[in-house]
DNA sequence: CGAATACTGTGCCATGAGGCTAAGTATTGC
DNA sequence: GCAATACTTAGCCTCATGGCACAGTATTCG
């Protein structure tokens, strides 16, 4: 649960940057090289590479170097962490809503 | 679309901190005061207040001050932005998968 | 009214993120 | 083999973040 939180941290941090979200989006349409990706963004290659590393370090993408070209691929599974977290939130609300409904229906059961 | 991205930025940034995610989670179980919330976290009140302000500034919570107590309430709608973004990603993958399937089925149609 | 409570404001600090330039390395194409 | 390509490394800079202490304000309670 603690390391689960650390992973979530990483995923949210990675997605908090518009450049990195755009990369994730782009890779959703198919894998491509760092250079190809970088061309779409108004920054130098070293700067862009930091984003790639961040995405990889947090598991959102995988990269492989073949020759002088590094190819990036989306790791869809990782986004499921966000999905799971959201689902957990919704579960919490629903439980609460259920309890509130129960309170309305049968107030004696749920008084603080 | 640009300001949409700025909003997403804010939401992801807000959720990238474990303290703030914990607050969102806690508020999912019901509204409560800043002091009550703060008690659960190992930091000073001014530090904690920064998190509250961040969450409010990014629309994830609403707060109201009544007397000397500030009450915090979750704004569930805001989390829908994350949901929407994830859904958009999935749509992209699925389109791509469809195209790949079409390619396999009928290669002439989809050659680059 | 005075003390306790519940924030709020201010200023400081350390760290890290995100950008840059410049130079280096490893592959590939001619 | 030499030049071009595609990163990669290193170092630097600035600003934002997240923490702190300390002092201040506004309510509420006795």
pLDDT interval class at B26 (50, 70, 90): very high
Domain residue ranges of chain B, discontinuous segments joined by + = 4-105
pLDDT for residue A25 is more than 60: yes
* Average pLDDT of the residues of chain A: 89
pLDDT for residue B109 is more than 90: no
How far apart CA A50 and CA B8 sit, in angstroms, is 21
pLDDT of residue A18: 97
Each residue's pLDDT tens digit, B64-88: 999 999 999 999 999 999 999 999 9
Instruction: Give every CB contact of residue B92 below 8 A, 6+ residues apart in sequence.
Output: A25, A28, A29
pLDDT for residue B105 is more than 80: no
Mutation test of the interface with chain A: which of B6, B36, B93, choosing the one with the most A Cβ atoms within 10 A?
B93
* Average pLDDT of the residues of chain B: 89
Cβ atoms within 10 Å of A61's Cβ, excluding its own: 23
The token duo for B111 is: 């050659």
Return the residue matching tokens 């179980």: B29
pLDDT interval class at B112 (50, 70, 90): very low
How far apart CA B17 and CA B14 sit, in angstroms, is 6
Q: How far is A92 from chain B (nearest CA, A)?
A: 6
pLDDT of residue B98: 66
Cβ contact B89–A28 (<8 Å) = yes
3-state secondary structure of B71: strand
**C-alpha distance from residue A71 to each of A34, A84, A86, A110 (Å):** 6, 28, 31, 57
Give the percent of chain A with pLDDT over 70: 82
pLDDT interval class at B111 (50, 70, 90): very low
- Under 8 Å between Cβ of B62 and B75: yes
How far apart CA B58 and CA B74 sit, in angstroms, is 12
How far apart CA B77 and CA B87 sit, in angstroms, is 15
Nearest by CB to A82, from B18, B76, B82: name it: B82
Single out the residue of B33, B25, B28 nearest to residue B49, CA to CA.
Answer: B33
Cβ atoms within 10 Å of A92's Cβ, excluding its own: 18
Each residue's pLDDT tens digit, A30-78: 999 999 999 999 999 999 999 999 999 999 999 999 999 999 999 999 9
pLDDT for residue B91 is more than 50: yes
- What sign for the dihedral angle of Cα A91, A93, A96, A97? negative
| Mean pLDDT along residues B14-26 | 97
DSSP state of B68: T
pLDDT for residue A17 is more than 60: yes
Long-range contacts of B86-90 (CB under 8 A, 24+ apart): B86/A79, B86/A82, B86/A83, B86/A86, B88/A25, B89/A24, B89/A25, B89/A28, B89/A79
Would you identify the CATH topology of the domain B4-105? Arc Repressor Mutant, subunit A (1.10.10)
Query: Which residues in chain B are contacts of A25 at CB distance < 8 A?
Result: 88-89, 92
């Amino acid at each position: 649960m603690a390391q689960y939180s650390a992973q979530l941290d990483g995923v949210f941090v990675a997605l908090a940057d518009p450049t990195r979200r755009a990369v994730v989006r782009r890779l959703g349409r198919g894998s491509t090289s760092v250079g190809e990706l970088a061309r779409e963004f108004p920054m130098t290659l070293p700067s862009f590479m930091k984003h790639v590393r961040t995405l990889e370090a947090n598991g959102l993408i995988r990269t492989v170097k073949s020759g002088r070209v590094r190819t990036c691929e989306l790791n869809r599974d990782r986004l499921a962490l966000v999905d799971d977290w959201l689902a957990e939130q919704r579960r919490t609300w629903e439980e609460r809503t259920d309890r509130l409904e129960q309170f309305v229906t049968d107030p004696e059961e749920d008084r603080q």
